[in-house]
Amino acid sequence: MTDAIFKRVVRIERPAAEVFAWHERPGAFGRLCPPWERVEVTRHVGGIRDGARVSLRTKVGPIWAKWEIVHRDYIAGRQFRDVLMSGPFARWEHLHRIDPLGPGACELTDEIHYRLPLGLLGRLGGAAFTRRQLERMFTYRHAVTKADLELGSSGPRKCILVSGASGLVGRSLEAFLLTQGHTVRSLVRRQPQKPNEFNWDPVRGKMDPAALAGVDAVVHLGGANVAGGRWTAARKAEILLSRVDGTRTLAAGIAALAASERPEVFVSAAAVGFYGERADERLDEHAALGAGFLAGVCAAWEHELAAIEQLGVRTVALRTGVVLSPAGGALAKMLPAFLMGVGGRLGAGRQWMSWITPDDLCAMYERAITDRAWRGAYNAVAPEPVTNAAFTSVMAQVLRRPAVLPVPTVVLRAVFGKMADETLLASTRAVPGRLQAAGFTWRQPELERALRHVLGR
């Protein structure tokens, strides 16, 4: 029976040895997995050399499929192959090959020989679908691989401690930092299960002191989900204290170290909620603090950084907009309605929305870590914010769905209470003045391009 063959080639302006090394690093699989795919690695023994094994499961619709993969045909600096031992395909062999094109460039080839299950019936029912999915996947994978490698990160690699590594941003950032050659440690509230995990309890102000030993940078992402439930008094207290207590716990850990052993930099997540409801006003980093609960939370969170700065540690706060990813956050919540053709603007749709893709946000975090000129607050957003009505229109265009059913303001307030006014209906037109002045280059500076990338459209 004849196998189907899928082949995709991309030129990368980096040496072949560097591209191969990128694939051998532990974060490579995470970077290559499209955000619209549900994939869970259940076991990974070894790297990509012959005999290394990976167990994972993928979800298509309501069905989870298990994959057992072994690596073969490893040639250092040149190629490796993934061979399916058991899983949803009758055959699957994926060759990754890297061919030099002179000293400073190479060609990456992904070639897959596969056979669908159920013979003729499987080919009739799944051939076109499988081909489309492979096209989507490798368009995304090659764009990420090429951009990551051509980013041109320079300077010594760092040991970085991350809080909130299991969240939406944390998962992306950990994979990105690992493939850039950094060492990453994670703070976890549960019992540590991996050598790079360390326990902490920010509510009680406790942390394993070994977590900070030898660390060059701390990235603080932890905090209760702002949109995780209605804003009761208890919920609002949790949102505030989870950010303040976490920062104070890290500050105390750093203060306990000798001055020569403290990290070089502390990079904290923050939010454009700092500016509050501001109608059509363009808000760069010089704009004043706004009013409201979220603005107060953001101000308190950033205020805690002063104690860390006084310890001789450079501090950076990245005021982030809406992170566009189907893997979680606001976009993931909007997506089902839009796919069903019942999406629409929120309220009048005139409120401004500042947004960013995970790829660009990860690059901002690394730049904040490695560039000593970065200090203070930065608006971590794309160059052009959009109104909610404009966002709705572009989303519908990308998904090829109608979006003609607006959600009235009264309904949003009835469902979400006060949270609706400060999140879904608030107009915050934040612009990245300091990032532009620093020469930061966005991969996805325009909304349509960004949505097509993260949604594989």
* Distance, first Cα to last Cα, the chain: 32
CA distances from 286 to 81, 247, 377, 430 (A): 52, 23, 9, 11
Whole-angstrom Cα Rg for the chain = 23
| H or E, element range at 362 | helix 358-370
- Quick check: 194 and 174 in contact, CB under 8 A? no
Calpha distance 245→258 (Å, rounded): 22
User: Is residue 300 helix, strand or coil?
Assistant: helix
CA distances from 278 to 264, 291, 424 (A): 35, 9, 14
pLDDT tens-digit profile of 53-69? 999 999 877 889 999 99
- Quick check: 90 and 102 in contact, CB under 8 A? no
Q: What is the DSSP track for 111-131?
A: EEEEE-TTHHHHHHHHHHHHH
Cα pseudo-dihedral 227, 229, 235, 236, rounded to 10? 40
Which ranges of 192-265 does DSSP label H, i.e. alpha helix? 233-255
Q: What is the DSSP track for 69-114?
A: EEEEEEETTTEEEEEEEESSSSEEEEEEEEEE-STT-EEEEEEEEE
Residue 221 is predicted with a pLDDT of 95
Residue 120 is predicted with a pLDDT of 56
- Rounded to 5 degrees, φ, ψ at 279 are 55, -125
- Residues of the chain below pLDDT 50: none
Residue 62 is predicted with a pLDDT of 84
- Quick check: 345 and 407 in contact, CB under 8 A? yes
Residue 404 is predicted with a pLDDT of 85
List the 4-12 sheet strands across, edge first.
4-12, 106-115, 91-100, 79-86, 63-75, 53-60, 38-45
Burial of 118 (0-12, 13-18, 19+ CB in 10 A): exposed
Domains of the chain, each with CATH number or no CATH:
4-150 (3.30.530.20), 159-455 (3.40.50.720)
Burial of 2 (0-12, 13-18, 19+ CB in 10 A): exposed
Residue 225 is predicted with a pLDDT of 87
- Quick check: 160 and 182 in contact, CB under 8 A? yes
pLDDT tens-digit profile of 311-351? 999 999 999 999 999 998 889 988 998 998 888 999 999 99
Calpha distance 290→421 (Å, rounded): 14
pTM given for the model: 0.93
Burial of 160 (0-12, 13-18, 19+ CB in 10 A): buried
Residue 427 is predicted with a pLDDT of 95
Burial of 325 (0-12, 13-18, 19+ CB in 10 A): buried
